[in-house]
Chains A and B, each alone.
Chain A
């Protein structure tokens, strides 16, 4: 029986397991389905877009039509232009009027009126509208009842509506202004184009170009429109922003492909000409260009809410919740205390107004825009204000390599001669090279570097630092030219002294470049043949090698040394070039020898190998520091590049993205000498992922990589894969910042929590899709941005804590008024004067507060846990400091009444008689009798006293909010000067209100006796002392009960 039972069990177990397994499988499939489908759908739509785009490209409506197939003369005829003379100005103006300017229409914006109305109903506005409507309703009722002063409520309603409208207008204005920053930025550098018009060459703003214009382009220019090329000279364009191909592509006048996108004789708007020159006819302008079409196709990807927007929403809900629940609670209390419904409604309005920090949202906007300004100074241009803080909560940065981490220019990094590797200085502002230059081998090598080089400096740049000069030539030649110029001085004059007699330029079959020169040594009549190229090809042609200036036979040992050096430099991800030379014997090659490069009537073998030079696009000097800052700030930096894995890994190592001690799976395999498959993947902290591998990966595999490795480099990735990587990071719950420059980066930039476009290299599409633009393309600027973002988060916390505190001091009067029936301590209008008057400048001033500790030494905030307004902040502000403020203000209130004849005991329960218009002989504690108006005036004096006390205590509140943990004395009272501006403005506004406007009845202020300003001062000091004690305990006992409950 037992046996049987166990059998049954086992069967059941098995069934259970199986069913569970299938469940899991299902789930996995569902998961895949959900994610995969979404992605597939997106891919499908993308693909669809591309397909439509391609099909469009063949249709007439596409605009390029068959311009690439036509000859120059046919084109001239078609566009009514002339290749030599260009359009006439008049004709150009006509076409411009017809087609519009040559610029992309910005993406369709939300209508201004909608934006405006949104500001009118967002945030606290609804609550205030409710208050206003209630005011009007009670006005209507009172009017109908024929009460004596119904207009108070009408005014209150109007004031509330005005507050909403004014803050709405302000917010709208702020938003418009920040949008304009972006607009002004694109106007800042108007692009120029060299155009032939009226048979003259003219520099015109690029947006003035029209179809049919003849434009000239040279290396470094951005293509100003879609252009059919009619003349080219060594022209190469970088189409990466359009197609994602990183290699520059050559352009010619020939029709090479049916598809206008593939043919070589068309250059596209917004791509750049890398080298050479070209002339062409403009065939499409503005939105009709290929880029314009893509831009309009890809726009419309929705934006997600920024973290700070979520935080502010959370805060608004919190405060609104408190306001409504207290309001309703006291409405019920007052109704059950037999107050009239009308009165209860008026109390409700008062409670709402007291609870809502009317000025706060405007303050937040101002603080954010101040930070945005500060960031713009540090080369981070923020398009969307809220992105300021998003950057601060970033936990993963996916950064491009070229241009962002690196300087985006090839630079000589290492040399190898005399069997030794020398390092060269690769910094941005090098003026000398520190390596040993005494060896005669170096003299020989430097001569080859100088002479066997076609690159030249653009004239007229003698005063610029060498590294900043513009060079005509390809990247490696430029690097060599600058390298030589730094060490040897004027390269051009050296070349002039060593006249070139023959030259074979570099081509892909030879893989070398060769030139023959006369020497500058008058006693040496020999010609010098110099050659550079791929190291292995150069070595093949050599029979000797120069060691310390002497030619020695190239034996296997020396060849081995060469191989080692070559491998080592190649392993650094550097582009290595070999250099060799040969002095041609004078007898065989006399002065008059006719060198012929076609028949090669000179030796190209048995040369003398001189050395190797390796080049790399070196990291920017500020980047390693920035990366290590990110590390200590808990931000993971992932490199995503289209480059070769070896180069990518080398750069990642040199900037610290892959730290010196960590290894990839491949590294471990190599070290342990085992196959890659046997390595425990968990041991490897770093990973270099090839784009090809990524293509075959499932989402889970990607997640695994992102999860398990702290240092990741994605190499050979396409811009599309960037999107997948970003999505992967977001699945980990990270806030992801992504940099990008190409058109194809736009989806990733939009998908990211914060998209960062490059200001210099970035395409307009990328800039449009991004939330932020890096003006200097420098990774280090992102880190500065992160720092600012974190600071503003901290400072907003302080601002909100400051603003919330006095809400209690504004609310308590109402509650006590209702419960104890004392004369009203503070009026609704007076509350508005605090919220929108005295408190505004101080709360903005907190945005200028310096960080309390190194904010880059803590982890990024967890967006689920670390809220802007947390329980501690609300409790500490509301229930502790707020209550203290109320006590101080009530003391002042009671003092004012007592000194005028109403002792506190007399005040309790007098509300009904006090407010009765017919009682004009109201007796005070001393037997005097007061008319209604005399009582009202005293009540306003009470308002003013209450107001002044809150203001005085808010000064203390402002000072304590400067820090959350440190003592004020550690932070320094005077470091943030703006705080003092805030304090003086606060007191100044209060003085103006009480003494300047004290006679305007409607405002309910009265000139107050001077000593009442000081009644609350002891309480202000108490607040300060109490907060210092709080901070002291927090610092002394970290992790204690006190710390947990008191630190906000």
Chain B
């Protein structure tokens, strides 16, 4: 009985050992066929998604009291942390590229990253206003486009946001509930930041940012304002996908109290 149990144990040890070895070997062979620079296929992400920073824990909804620093402390610290990598000191290796042109580096072995000046974010750069406008009722939200290797946007891509009241009427803007300012102006995303060459080749790459400053009218506090930002002006960047609500667009809500 003992021997029989041992035999069975031994058998499965050998059997599973063999399978594990086979699995490891096959995986190794498979990984050898892959390049470490770019993935084999990129067809599943042909168009980038949009994302914002700070990203509230609750599903993209900002709630804060402009007179209570504690209520937006997390947003501010997130923004600050996010912008750390954009600090001038970290960008010493980056070069100044020609604005308005795709920065093609296919033939160059060492890919250079373009400099993104924080000053472009104006009031939202966090240099003048350490609270990114949250204390003044003009909160800043950074909008960024997902990195996709080899993506070359066409035309003049820019971020454009609209706002609605929570019950959907597109009147918020007209009624002056909120005024939206963009940094860089008109929310332009410069083509010189494209294409991206991937983590290993393009280590210092910084994706361009657009800061959206919401100047919320003091009458419309306590009002929940829905903002939707879209990427416009580029024919090859989709922003109307039925299923993917984040493909070239993003929606979030802001509610400010005093």
User: Which residues of chain A have a CB within 8 Å of any CB of chain B?
Assistant: 879-880, 883-884, 887, 890-891, 894-895, 898-901, 903-904, 917-918, 920-921, 923-934, 937-938, 941, 1001, 1009, 1018, 1022, 1041, 1045
Contact = CB atoms under 8 A, between A and B. Distances in A.
A667 B199 CA distance: 99
B15 A933 contact: no
B146 A928 contact: yes
Given A899-B34, A928-B146, A933 B42 contact: no
A884 B147 CA distance: 38
B19 A1041 contact: no
A920 B44 contact: no
B59 A918 contact: yes
B157 interface: no
A930 B49 contact: yes
18 contacts: A891-B30, A894-B30, A899-B39, A900-B39, A900-B42, A901-B42, A903-B34, A904-B31, A918-B55, A918-B59, A920-B51, A927-B147, A929-B146, A933-B243, A933-B244, A933-B245, A938-B44, A1009-B41
Nearest to B38: A926
B39 A926 contact: yes
A934 B43 CA distance: 10
Contacts of B250: 920
A898 B34 contact: yes
B40 A879 contact: no
Interface stretch (B21-29, B126-134, B172-180): B21-29
A933 B246 contact: yes
B210 to A, nearest CB: 15
Query: 7 closest A-B pairs (Cβ-Cβ)?
Result: A927-B199, A931-B49, A929-B146, A901-B39, A933-B244, A899-B40, A920-B246
B69 interface: no
Interface string B231-247: 00000000001011111
Nearest to A883: B19
B246 A932 contact: yes
Given A931-B244, A1041-B7, A926 B149 contact: yes
B8 A1045 contact: yes
Given A901-B39, A901-B42, A934 B244 contact: yes
Contact of A879 (B12, B48, B57): B12
Contacts of B200: 926-927
B196 interface: yes
Given A917-B59, A918-B55, A928 B27 contact: no
A924 B19 contact: no
Interface of B: 4, 7-8, 11-12, 15-16, 19, 22-23, 26-27, 30-31, 34, 37-42, 44-45, 48-51, 55, 57, 59-60, 144, 146-149, 196, 198-200, 202, 205, 241, 243-247, 250
A276 to B, nearest CB: 75
B69 to A, nearest CB: 25
Given A926-B38, A928-B45, A933 B59 contact: no
Given A920-B51, A926-B149, A941-B44, A890 B7 contact: no
Given A887-B19, A887-B23, A931-B49, A918 B60 contact: yes
Contacts of B30: 891, 894-895, 898
B116 to A, nearest CB: 16
A930 B19 contact: no
Contacts of A931: 49, 146, 244, 246-247
Nearest to B61: A918
Contacts of A891: 23, 26-27, 30
Contacts of A884: 19
Nearest to B49: A931
Contacts of A900: 39-42, 44
A953 to B, nearest CB: 13
Contacts of B245: 933
Contacts of A926: 37-39, 149, 198-200
B241 to A, nearest CB: 8
Contacts of B37: 926
A903 B241 CA distance: 28
A899 B23 contact: no
B38 A929 contact: no
B247 A929 contact: no
Given A883-B16, A887-B22, A891-B23, A929 B39 contact: no
Given A929-B147, A931-B246, A933-B246, A903 B31 contact: yes
Contacts of A938: 44
